[in-house]
Amino acid sequence: MSLDNSVGVVVPQRVCFNEAMALKSGAVLPGFELAFETYGTLNAARSNAVLVCHALSGGHHVAGVYADNPKDLGWWDNLVGPGKPLDTDRFFVVGVNNLGGCYGSTGPLSANPETGKRYGADFPMVTVEDWVAAQARLADHLGVDTWAAVIGGSLGGMQALEWSLQYPERIRHAMVIASAPKLSAQNIAFNEVARQAIISDPDFYGGHYAEHGVVPTSGLRLARMVGHITYLSDSQMGEKFGRQLRHGEHKFSYDVDFEIESYLRYQGDKFAGFFDANTYLITTKALDYFDPAYAYNGDLAAALARAKARFFVASFSTDWRFAPARSREIVFALLHNRRHVAYAEIDCDAGHDSFLLDDAHYHAVLRAYLENISI
Amino acid sequence: MNFTAKERERFDFAVIANWIPPGERVLDLGCGDGKLLRYLRETKDVIGYGVEIDHESVLGCIRNGVDVIQIDIEGGLSGFENQSFNHVIISQALQAMHATERILCEMLRVAEEAVVSFPNFAYRANRAAIAEGHMPVSEDLPYEWYETPNVRFFTLADFETLCAKLDIEIRERRAFDEAGQAVSDDPNLNGSLAFYRLGRKA
């Protein structure tokens, strides 16, 4: 792999916050740690910081590689780096693993200070609002009063939107990509299937699987398989796999016959090998609960009235999980409030996953928007 | 013909800007790369939004720092609220749309006034081309018939008949020949490009 325009070798950092944090659910975390990475340099005016928010399976490792694992490329490395659309020669870019995550931030795998054992299922539910509140503490720690931009795709886009509502003075540009102002019933339904797959795994043990020295691998694997179906478009799946047979003939068995089965199993196995099941459960619930209009009788325009940021909103033509119409809801609610907004509906065949790809037009649009952000 | 493309553009912009009071909220349908909105922002301090369907044009808007919304207006302006703009502009784009009546009505739903500009098919030189047996290619109708994005070919007289049918009030009209000279005598014959300021009949 070429390391041109790469931020190169990066080192994850950690910060510990000892002050308790009241969560939206009513639970209180006595304190917490966040794992994060930074790329580029914070300028003297502290005006060039950009926060990258991750989606369901991402984390703080946004760009670059690790010295001890040069194959572990950041999840949005195609976007972030010197000369890339989110240019680290110009911006100070921050990636963070959210609260409840499983890559180093305090979460279900961490020790519960009250018991000394892992939290497991006792880790409180966290919401998008809680994540943003925790990210704000990270911003304080880094000396960032105001983000030049907060950017994210999917669930990450929801965090960018939430930043504009929770801390309207601390964000100049909200970049909301392949996202939605709330999940639809169909979205929640897919999440529920994924959760039930995990919870009904005999190795789940009510979420305390760690104490039993096991992992609900088959549940996690199923959850990821269902997820992957929703990330891809029908047409792309058809193009990529079609009805291709693994063995060139029908085997009349439940082993892999069709290539798509092989793909889903591979993705499921890979994911179940590193992701924590409780984090998966918590994260899907955070998605389900996110609905800034909920406190405004469903009136999204009223909910967005307090936003002050300029917005960039983008959707992808073949994304049926967070379809373009969902992004347009955000756009028109912003328009109602007379906010600045640029909205691009990008032609890309890859469904919801498009936001992670480096489609030339998509990246040109991102680059153009980011270049116009003053620092 | 006497104009460079850039001068031509500025001339169009100036005619439209003349109808836009400073500080207004403006919606530009089929806004291209956002140059008109940028011009109106710089000269009239308007708060402008563009609507565009073409990908490269949307990219151009974003490069120009213009607020743009990428949607297809053939389906109407359903996301836009009633009377949420002072002026809505459709500059030399109406002839490239199918849903002519719908968009005219929608424009006067979302804004107090509409500004419409379009090439006049009945311009003298265009009539001459037809008389010679060819589809016209001119300053304001610059495409060959086989590559034109235009789908509606109409005249000042046709447009005014449609406005009457839709109860749209014509508040002002200006027409110009290919050299950019204002035309007052028989604009349906002598005007190559027409500009209208439209409102709802009281």
Cβ A344–B63 below 8 Å, yes or no?
no
- Straight-line distance from the first to the last Cα atom of chain B, in angstroms, rounded to the nearest whole number: 40
Give the separation between CA A220 and CA A329, rounded to whole angstroms: 32
Whether chain A has a CB inside 8 Å of the CB on B129: the answer is no
In the predicted structure, residue B81 carries a pLDDT above the cut 90: yes
Q: How far from chain centre, in Å, is Cα A311?
A: 18
Cβ neighbours of A128 (radius 10 Å):
24
Residues 6 or more apart whose Cβ sits within 8 Å of residue B8: B139, B180
Q: Which residues in chain A have Cβ-Cβ distances shorter than 8 Å to B62?
A: 312, 342, 344, 365, 368-369, 372
pLDDT for A1? 43
Residue range A219-235: average pLDDT? 95
Residue range A351-366, pLDDT digits in tens: 999 999 999 999 999 9
Cα angle, residue B174 at apex, residues B187 and B124 outer, rounded to 5°:
25
Catalytic residue set of A: 154, 319, 352
User: What pLDDT shows up at residue B202?
Assistant: 80
> Is B25 near chain A, with CB under 8 Å?
yes
pLDDT in tens, A145-155: 999 999 999 99
Instruction: State pLDDT tens for residues B128-177.
Output: 999 999 999 998 999 999 999 999 999 999 999 999 999 999 999 999 99
pLDDT band at B11, cuts 50/70/90? confident
Residue pair A292/A162 in contact (Cβ under 8 Å)? The answer is yes
Nearest to A368 among B25, B62, B81 (CB): B62
B68–A contact, CB cutoff 8 A: yes
pLDDT (average), residues B76-95: 96
Q: Which of B62, B47, B142 is nearest to B96 (CA)?
A: B142
Q: Residue B69: which of A343, A346, A372 has the nearest Cβ?
A: A343
User: Is the model's pTM score more than 0.90?
Assistant: yes
Query: Which residues, listed in sequence order, are joined to residue B183 by a DSSP beta bridge?
Result: B175
pLDDT at A4: 75
Contact B57, B41 (CB under 8 A): no
Report, as an integer, the average pLDDT of A36-49.
98
Query: Does pLDDT of B9 surpass 90?
Result: no
Q: Is residue A158 over pLDDT 70?
A: yes
Among A332, A334, A347, the strongest candidate for a mutation testing the B interface, having the largest count of B CBs within 10 A, is: A332
Size of interface A-B (CB pairs under 8 A): 55
Instruction: Specify the residue for token string 């789940």.
Output: A204
Q: How many CB atoms lie within 10 A of CB B112?
A: 15
Instruction: Please state the rounded mean pLDDT for residues A132-145.
Output: 98
Instruction: Extract the tokens encoding A292.
Output: 């800034």
pLDDT of residue B2: 56
Confidence (pLDDT) at B100: 96
Give, rounded to a whole angstrom, the gap between the first and last alpha carbons of chain A.
Answer: 32
Residue A365: predicted pLDDT: 98
At B153 the three-state DSSP class reads coil
pLDDT score of B197:
98
Strand ranges for chain A from DSSP E: 13-17, 21-22, 28-29, 32-39, 49-53, 80-81, 86-87, 92-96, 149-153, 173-177, 310-316, 341-346
Model confidence over A296-337: pLDDT tens digits?
Answer: 999 999 999 999 999 999 999 999 999 999 999 999 999 999
Written in H, E and C, the secondary structure of B44-101 is HCCEEEEEECCHHHHHHHHHCCCCEEECCHHHCCCCCCCCCEEEEEEECCHHHCCCHH
Mark yes or no for CB contact B61/A342 under 8 Å: yes
The mean-pLDDT minimum among A3-12, A67-76, A301-310 falls in A3-12
Average predicted confidence (pLDDT) for chain A:
96
Nearest CA in chain B to A310: B67
B47 contacts in A (CB within 8 Å)? 338
Residues of A engaging B, defined by a Cβ cutoff of 8 Å: 312, 328, 331-332, 335-336, 338, 340-347, 361, 364-365, 368-369, 371-372
Write down the pLDDT at residue A3. Answer: 55
- Using an 8 Å CB-CB cutoff, list chain B residues near A341: 49, 67, 69
Higher pLDDT pick, A220 / A5: A220
Q: CB distance B59–A338 less than 8 Å?
A: no
Question: What pLDDT is recorded for position B1?
Answer: 46
Interface membership of B49 toward A (CB under 8 Å)? yes
Q: What confidence tens digit (pLDDT) does each residue in B32-66 have?
A: 999 999 999 999 999 999 999 999 999 999 999 99
